[in-house]
Amino acid sequence: MPDEPHFTDDNTPQPPPEPEKEGEIPASVAFMEIMRRAAARHEATRPPPPPAAPSAVAPGTQRPTAAPVVAQTVVNPRRDYDDAMEAQRVQRVKKRQSRRRRQTVGVIGGIFRSVTVILIAGALMATIFTWSTPTQFINDQVKSSLSIAQATGASTTVPTIIPTPNWLRRVGIVSGHRGPQVPPDPGAVCPDGLTEASINFAVAQQVVRNLRDRGYSVDLLDEFDSRLEDYQAAALVSIHSNTCQNFGEVVSGYLIARAAARSGLGQDDNLVECVARYYGQATALTRRQGVTIDMTDYHTFREIHPLTPAAILELGFMLADRDILTDKQTEMAKGITDGILCFLEPNSQALPTLDVTPTPTG
């Protein structure tokens, strides 16, 4: 229950005293101010007194002076008490709101402090645990790695070797004697009309298709193709067939050569040897060594970029090897394809295993 009000001798209600705090207006002062305002409000609203009735006074007689009227203030104790109680209630509400704000700020600050203390304590415990852990609980492999790191001062990493994607590697295949040159150049021609250009083109087309199926970017080039000027590629092979001339004896086999003007034991030699091994395995033809200057000084070798590995291949003799050149073009194309892949992908597991039997030479 709220404290009962106190009344003075003149029956004026007084609010119960409250302890005064620093920065607050004492309750007694507030109550006196409320009472003063109530008296002033009552005085302002009181009607004026009625005028006094005139009395008959004999002529020559002085009118008696009226006694002064003293204004009396009528105070409503109940209303003034309610006003005082309302003022105290408002003051209590303000104090409760201020206290809640201080409590909220204190809770948030406490949370931050707790999180900080937990993090610091966790870091200290982890450090102490690491220092105090016996070495026998550490795996031998971890010990070895730590020893290497301490000895070198930094961890050593081995870079991962990523092969160049096939579609970024260009290959050039020249179809010998093919092109729009005038007059047309069919190359060697047999009595029955079989031309070297037709054989070369049939095999070259299949080689291009095979390499493209492996993801390479392949150019099918003519004999005098304008693109050959300063042509750059990972490899270039020019496909030809040998003469249909009758030498009076059986002359069979294939020939392969690189540019004589280039230094030996380079990329050109690797390309030549790869194609020779796989082509000989696929066709069972003999590799001949009697290459001519037309092969070693082939005009394409002088046109392409000096860093483009290149080789020229004579598929076989159109007279003695006619059956192979016309009926086994798929096998010939596969041998050339595998030879180029042997050069481009020396560590590939997809290439067929070669017969270790030495290839006879003619």
Considering the domain architecture, whether residues 121 and 186 belong to the same structural domain is answered as no
Task: Decide if 138 is inside a domain.
Answer: no
Show the domain range for 83: 6-44+73-127
Considering the domain architecture, whether residues 266 and 201 belong to the same structural domain is answered as yes
d(CA 181, CA 38): 125
d(CA 54, CA 347): 142
Task: Decide if 122 is inside a domain.
Answer: yes
pLDDT tens for the chain, 362 residues long, are 455 555 555 555 555 555 555 555 555 666 677 777 777 766 666 666 666 555 545 555 555 555 554 455 555 667 777 777 888 888 888 888 888 888 887 888 888 888 888 989 888 887 787 776 666 666 666 666 656 555 555 545 555 566 778 878 999 999 999 999 878 899 999 999 999 999 999 999 999 999 999 999 999 999 999 999 999 999 999 999 999 999 999 999 999 999 998 876 689 999 999 999 999 999 999 999 989 999 999 999 999 999 999 999 999 999 999 999 999 999 999 999 999 999 999 988 778 877 645 444 44
> Which helix (H) or strand (E) element contains residue 293?
helix 293-296
Residues 235 and 344: beta-carbon distance below 8 Å: yes
Count the residues in the chain.
Answer: 362
Q: Residues 153-180: pLDDT tens digits?
A: 554 555 556 677 887 899 999 999 999 9
Considering the domain architecture, whether residues 203 and 324 belong to the same structural domain is answered as yes
Considering the domain architecture, whether residues 218 and 340 belong to the same structural domain is answered as yes
Structural domain total, the chain: 2
Task: Decide if 245 is inside a domain.
Answer: yes
Burial class of residue 316, CB neighbours in 10 A (0-12, 13-18, 19+): buried
Considering the domain architecture, whether residues 190 and 339 belong to the same structural domain is answered as yes
Q: Strands, DSSP E only, in the chain?
A: 6-7, 13-14, 170-175, 217-221, 235-242, 255-257, 310-317
Considering the domain architecture, whether residues 122 and 180 belong to the same structural domain is answered as no
Considering the domain architecture, whether residues 36 and 174 belong to the same structural domain is answered as no
Considering the domain architecture, whether residues 119 and 197 belong to the same structural domain is answered as no
Task: Decide if 121 is inside a domain.
Answer: yes
CA dihedral of residues 327, 331, 333, 336 (deg, nearest 10): -140
Task: Decide if 59 is inside a domain.
Answer: no
Token duo for residue 303: 């046109």
Q: Residues 48-69: pLDDT tens digits?
A: 666 655 554 555 555 555 555 4
Task: Decide if 221 is inside a domain.
Answer: yes
Task: Decide if 263 is inside a domain.
Answer: yes
Task: Decide if 105 is inside a domain.
Answer: yes
Q: Residues 208-257: pLDDT tens digits?
A: 999 999 999 999 999 999 999 999 999 999 999 999 999 999 999 999 99
